[in-house]
């Protein structure tokens, strides 16, 4: 029987209603008591690493989770992390960079309703996560939610209330949990040794363009950042390219100061392609920027946090950025 470590971090799955709203307060051991059949799948140890609303999750929390997994890696066959849904995709992405080439499964799950309630998705999601964590073919970082197995770098929360809250963006789900078994659509093999990383650079910020945005806002955020992600319109572009106070002028000044500027798109699917239109073509030809292509926002942010904790050299950042990790970008 496999040994699985449950790492509880809080979130809706562990929440109880109070006068001021839901607050995470159910412990890791209490969570397991709501789904006693899990004990038939594996040997379990539970750690209450934190008990927070996932809105409060940040890079320090990601490093704490990764460190807990590294500390216990040799003693367990897999790991299940319970987590709030709001930043679950960010955490899955972050762990995909902090823990690379794991032959052991690292499975994140949560719920839209507390496990404390009768009409909840929590119990099934948790049971399914353990089914996947116990499967001999499972490896790497994934989210298990609503019976779907989603690669950590491709997940996004797309619904605020529905049980099918997460989608795999522009990449197939790895498989599904069906009749309490794992049905794979994609077989993943890992042939490299696991590698843990211990640092992230939190000076990565994102600005979403709106029509008529003041270039001073771009400059202000850019100056406070090592990396600035510019989320543009459609396939990608920068308005008012030739104006004196243009956004392009600010981008050029920021790159000359050594800032890394990455262009992305606010459109959820199919990614950027900024050379299609003149407003984007001029950027690619004249400004020293990177492009996100079909990476999710969550992976984009976390990958750049990981890369720039290692190096801020422009050429090295570009090389690492365009090197796929766990299918985070598909060319």
164 & 302 share domain? no
Single residue among 175, 196, 217 that ends a domain in this structure:
196
Residue 326 lies in a domain: no
CATH number, domain with residue 41: 3.40.50.1170
Residue 327 lies in a domain: no
155 & 297 share domain? no
Q: How far apart are CA 246 and CA 113, in angstroms?
A: 46
Listed residue (66, 45, 73, 158) closest to 108, CA to CA: 66
Contact 236, 261 (CB under 8 A): no
Q: What are phi and psi of 107, to 5 degrees?
A: -115, 125
Q: How many CA atoms lie within 13 A of 13 on its CB side?
A: 34
Contact 23, 56 (CB under 8 A): no
CA angle 163, 10, 50 (to 5 degrees): 155
Q: How far apart are CA 227 and CA 27, in angstroms?
A: 37
Single residue among 164, 196, 228 that ends a domain in this structure:
196
Residue 330 lies in a domain: no
Residue 329 lies in a domain: no
136 & 230 share domain? no
Residue 246 lies in a domain: yes
List the domain range (segments joined by +) for residue 124: 3-196
188 & 84 share domain? yes
pLDDT tens per residue across span 173-192:
999 999 999 999 999 989 99
Task: Check if 12 is active-site.
Answer: yes
Q: How many CA atoms lie within 13 A of 246 on its CB side?
A: 16
For residues 188-198, give the mean pLDDT: 95
Contact 331, 321 (CB under 8 A): no
Catalytic residue among 12, 85, 153, 308: 12
pLDDT tens per residue across span 223-281:
999 999 999 888 777 766 566 668 888 999 999 999 999 999 999 898 887 766 555 66
Please name the residues in contact with 58: beta carbons below 8 A apart, sequence gap of 6 or more. 202
31 & 106 share domain? yes
Q: How far apart are CA 25 and CA 234, in angstroms?
A: 42
How confident is residue 73, by pLDDT bands cut at 50, 70 and 90? very high
Domain count, the chain: 2
166 & 286 share domain? no
Q: Which residue has the higher pLDDT, 63 or 275?
A: 63
192 & 291 share domain? no
138 & 30 share domain? yes
Listed residue (290, 291, 307, 289) closest to 94, CA to CA: 307
| Length of the chain, in residues | 331
Q: How far apart are CA 63 and CA 69, in angstroms?
A: 10
pLDDT tens per residue across span 103-155:
999 999 999 999 999 899 999 999 999 999 999 999 999 999 999 999 999 99
Query: What pLDDT is stored for residue 276 in this prediction?
Result: 60
pTM of the predicted model as reported, rounded to 2 decimal places: 0.95
Burial class of residue 7 in the structure, from the number of CB atoms within 10 Å of its CB (0-12 exposed, 13-18 middle, 19+ buried): buried
Residue 210 lies in a domain: yes
135 & 156 share domain? yes
Query: What pLDDT is stored for residue 21 in this prediction?
Result: 80
Contact 157, 88 (CB under 8 A): yes
Residue 22 lies in a domain: yes
Q: What are phi and psi of 184, to 5 degrees?
A: -90, 135
CATH number, domain with residue 230: 3.40.50.40
87 & 161 share domain? yes
For residues 301-324, give the mean pLDDT: 97
Q: How far apart are CA 322 and CA 331, in angstroms?
A: 9
How confident is residue 86, by pLDDT bands cut at 50, 70 and 90? very high
Q: What are phi and psi of 207, to 5 degrees?
A: -120, 130
The average confidence (pLDDT) of the chain is 93
Listed residue (88, 111, 37) closest to 298, CA to CA: 88
125 & 229 share domain? no
Helix axes 314-321, 297-310, angle to 10 degrees: 140
192 & 208 share domain? no
């Amino acid at each position: 029987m496999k040994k699985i470590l449950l790492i509880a971090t809080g979130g809706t799955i562990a929440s109880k209603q109070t006068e001021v709203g839901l607050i995470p307060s159910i412990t890791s051991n209490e969570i397991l008591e709501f789904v006693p059949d899990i004990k038939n799948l594996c040997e379990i140890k539970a750690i209450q690493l934190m008990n927070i609303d996932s809105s409060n999750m940040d890079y320090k929390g990601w490093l704490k989770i990764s460190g807990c997994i590294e500390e216990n890696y040799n003693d367990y066959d897999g790991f299940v992390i319970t987590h709030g849904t709001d930043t679950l995709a960010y955490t899955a992405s972050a762990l995909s960079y902090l823990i690379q080439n794991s032959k052991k499964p690292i499975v994140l799950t949560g719920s839209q309703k507390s496990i404390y309630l009768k009409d909840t998705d929590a119990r099934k999601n948790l049971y399914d996560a353990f089914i996947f964590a116990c499967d001999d073919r499972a490896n790497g970082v994934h989210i298990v939610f609503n019976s779907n197995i989603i690669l950590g770098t491709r997940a996004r929360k797309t619904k605020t209330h529905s049980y099918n809250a997460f989608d795999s963006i522009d990449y197939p789900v790895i498989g599904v949990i069906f009749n309490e078994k794992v049905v794979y659509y994609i077989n993943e093999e890992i042939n490299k040794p696991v590698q843990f990383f211990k640092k992230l650079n939190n000076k990565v910020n994102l600005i979403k363009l709106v029509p008529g945005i003041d270039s001073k806002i771009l400059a202000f955020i850019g100056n406070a950042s090592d990396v600035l992600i510019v989320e543009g319109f459609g396939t990608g572009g920068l308005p008012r390219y030739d104006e004196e106070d243009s956004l392009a002028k600010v981008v050029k000044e920021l790159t000359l100061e050594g800032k890394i500027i990455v262009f992305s798109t606010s459109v959820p699917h199919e990614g950027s392609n900024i050379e299609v239109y003149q407003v984007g073509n001029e950027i690619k030809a004249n400004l020293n920027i990177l492009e996100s292509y079909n990476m999710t926002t969550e992976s984009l942010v976390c990958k750049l946090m990981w890369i720039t904790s290692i190096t801020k050299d422009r050429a090295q950042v570009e090389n690492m950025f365009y090197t796929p990790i766990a299918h985070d970008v598909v060319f």
